[in-house]
Chains A and B, each alone.
Chain A
Amino acid sequence: MHLLEFRNISMHFGGIKAIEDLDMRVKENQIMSIIGPNGAGKTTIFNCITGLTRPVKGSIFFSDVNIVNLQPHEIARLGIARTFQNIRLFKEMSVIDNIIVAQHCRTSSGIIDAVLILRKFRLEERIIREKAMEYLEFVGLYDFANTMSGSLPYGAQRKLEIARALASEPSLILLDEPTAGMNPQETVQVMELIEKIKKLGKTVLLIEHDMKVVMGISEWIVVMDHGVKIAEGIPEDIKNNKLVIEAYLGKEY
């Protein structure tokens, strides 16, 4: 079954065609990667899915709902979360508060409950904190719960961003270059983390430049070049695809 489906999506910025007539499907509970040279339109795809930019043409179906005209927060509540290439944490909040903020789109206590500090509110707060600690444990940041997130080391900030994305309980999680700037050891950790996320039953859509990561964990790969999909398939096929090699991988492959 397809969790996400692009139908004929085009996105232009002025005269630049960032995406042109893109059809794309993401299978449920699959790790799928989008690769392509810089400026191929990969991040634009993420921005269209999350509602940050509105495509000029086409529709995007997420669990059979057309999400093209929805607001970012509505899309988030439907179950899509993302991370950014350049980390965007709430830097002046503690690590655990970053998680808690993301959890709130799934909780029910409203302003009246909070003002009255009702029992339901208190109980929910406790459950939220416990749950938040579980997310931190999941990415290996349990001991940093009360640290200011801005002062975490770089690799830990990336992991926190992933944890925060998970905390909004998405069924689809978009990771924009999650291993950028990481050392080989951290990269392996993130690969393991992504596979763990899949085991939770989630679907992962990945933008990645590191071919070891892409070929190592992807079940399906879509190759973009200048806003157009030039190939898709399983890693073995992509490795041997002539067009892809020309456009992107270079002679090494």
Chain B
Amino acid sequence: MLLQQLINGITLGSVYALIALGYSMVYGILELINFAHGEIYMLGAYFGIIFFGFLTVLGVTNYSIFLSLILTFLLSIMFCSAYGFTIEKIAYKPLRNSTRLSPLISAIGVSIFLQNYVMLTQGATDKVFPNLFGARGFYFLSIRMTYIQLFIIIVSILIMIFLRLFIRRTKIGKAMRAVAQDKTMASLVGINIDTIISITFIIGSALAAVAGLMVAMYYGLVNYFIGYIAGIKAFTAAVLGGIGSIRGAMVGGLLLGLVESLGGSYISGEYKDAYAFVILIIILLVKPGGLFRKAELEKV
């Protein structure tokens, strides 16, 4: 039972971690809480359904499910990245030199817009993602693990390793860290700030797309409102780990998934969604900087 819930929690937590990374990366660079990020995740799920359906019509799924999935992931990532890129250019960039509250409100506006946009174009009812893996799974040390759970955990871990290497090792990763620490200084060593901000949004959106698509595969159902709750939970995960910290977002996401899963089975499943917010309140009271960030004074 405990081990079983751990597996469920890690699965859920991996998804939260992927979304939380997007929040954290954007916050690290712009000090903006991108409330539209949850909507990108929701779009990822919808694009998954749309493109998978499209490939089914074309007959690619009959040829190879594996190939169709890869194509679906790639297309979904591309479209979500384009959305993320565009949102930054339209809704945040013009407000970059205004007060901190303005882009935040703009973000909430984008979020509401995208929800309604999807509701109008896709309908308010649940959409179904075809059940590819079925409920098939395997037993490992008396724990039952479905293939889709295994898939989610492995993909998430690979992405996180890759992201960490990217940020530590590559030119762009280093430029991102430099921009996060001091934008002016970064521009003075020749880094184009606008490009780095765009890349950050593109990467964050790509991660959200993967998360959304995997959740669509996991639960099979998608509606226009899933981005809201997932977004807030991932935000909690980012705060829990220390917003702005990449490692924090990963750990925070996993912890939150575990708490929800364990709380849901040992305390009460009714309050599943409340645990995230209880954690948020406790963290803000006890350790407002999060687990991986020194408590800092508010920048003026």
The chain A residues found within 8 Å of chain B, CB to CB, are 50-52, 71-73, 76-77, 81-82, 84, 88-93, 97, 100-102, 104-107, 109, 111, 114-115, 125, 164, 167-168
Contacts and interface: CB of A to CB of B under 8 A. Distances in A.
B112 interface: no
A164 B189 CA distance: 8
Contacts of B166: 114-115
B178 A77 contact: no
B131 interface: no
- Taking chain B's interface residues, is the majority helix, strand, or loop, or is none over half, making it mixed? helix
A210 to B, nearest CB: 24
Contacts of B169: 125
A84 B185 CA distance: 9
A19 B189 CA distance: 25
A168 B186 CA distance: 12
Nearest 4 A/B pairs, CB to CB: A105-B190, A76-B190, A72-B187, A114-B170
Contact of B189 (A51, A105, A115): A105
Given A90-B177, A91-B181, A101-B178, A82 B188 contact: yes
A97 B178 CA distance: 9
Interface in B205-264: none
A88 B177 contact: no
B24 to A, nearest CB: 15
Contacts of A84: 185
Contacts of B164: none
12 contacts: A50-B188, A71-B187, A72-B184, A73-B188, A73-B193, A82-B188, A90-B181, A101-B177, A104-B171, A104-B190, A111-B199, A114-B172
Interface string B159-200: 000000010011110110110011011111111110000010
A72 B190 CA distance: 7
Given A72-B187, A76-B189, A107 B171 contact: yes
B175 A101 contact: yes
A81 B191 CA distance: 12
Given A100-B174, A101-B175, A114-B166, A73 B191 contact: yes
Contact of A92 (B170, B181, B184, B192): B181
Contacts of A107: 171
B41 to A, nearest CB: 23
A159 to B, nearest CB: 16
Contacts of B182: 88, 90
A132 B191 CA distance: 17
Contacts of B177: 90, 92-93, 97, 101
Contacts of A105: 189-191
B190 A102 contact: yes
B54 to A, nearest CB: 27
Task: Give the residue among A71, A72, A91 with the most B Cβ atoms within 10 A.
Answer: A72
Given A111-B172, A114-B166, A81 B188 contact: yes
A26 B192 CA distance: 27
Nearest to B165: A117
A69 to B, nearest CB: 15
Given A50-B188, A111-B170, A111-B199, 14 more contacts: A73-B187, A76-B187, A77-B190, A88-B185, A89-B185, A90-B182, A93-B178, A93-B181, A97-B177, A101-B174, A101-B191, A105-B190, A114-B166, A115-B166
A101 B182 CA distance: 12
Contacts of B181: 90-93
Contacts of B193: 73
A82 B188 CA distance: 8
